[in-house]
Chain A
Amino acid sequence: MAAKKATHTMVKLVSAAKTGYEKWFNIPRAHSKLNLILYDPRAQRHCLFTESKKRKTQENKKKDYSKSHRV
């Protein structure tokens, strides 16, 4: 049997200021793509942090507000 997938993953967030400053987070596996506004000490200001690696996420299905399913 294959190994069971863990519930959480470690993701690395990299600063958009290209200073090389990174932050790691342990988040639920199915979480959507993370982008946070955190402080970058090398840039000395708050910057956008985005994930460095691709991973599978659960895409949020758009809510269907049409009444076509009603009888």
Chain B
Amino acid sequence: MSLTAKEAFAKLPQKLHTFFIKHPPRPLAQYATTPSTISDPQKNPFLPNKNEESGKWHAAKYSLRRSADLYKMALKYGLAELLPPIPHKKFHEERYNDKKWMRGLLFQKKRKWERELPTKLEQRRVAMENMDETILKARPAYKKQIARREEKKRTWF
């Protein structure tokens, strides 16, 4: 024998049960995805809403902790889609996969020497490559040394 909708609703945990009484589930009631006014019938209880007369903001009816608790409970019962949307939070796999990494972690500044190291090594490599030419500029007679080196070079293997 299967439960009727009413019977199933009665069996829900206290928190979810009272929440759905105060804030009807999604297909029956619409909720805003952005903060709106306190007089708005579609205001989201998980988001702050503004009092347009005084210009002051009312805090969310459910704190981040309580809203997360409700969402996770609803997920367990497969009722997550029935809750009002929580656009500013991610849960479980979504939170792990679509993580927002810190900019400083992705584009590390590094220390000054670490930033300058590639150019330093490149300069060193170029200087080594052109060493014979630099010596020749200062000592034209170095040609003989170079010739002697080429003579002594091993060409067989």
Contact = CB atoms under 8 A, between A and B. Distances in A.
Interface of A: 16-19, 35, 37, 43, 45-48, 50
A45 B131 contact: yes
Contact of A37 (B127, B128, B139): B139
Interface of B: 120, 123-124, 127-128, 131, 134-135, 138-139, 142
Contacts of B142: 37
The secondary structure that dominates the A interface is strand
B124 A47 contact: no
B135 A17 contact: no
The secondary structure that dominates the B interface is helix
A48 B127 CA distance: 11
B135 A18 contact: no
A45 B130 CA distance: 13
A46 to B, nearest CB: 8
Contacts of A47: 131, 135
A16 B124 contact: no
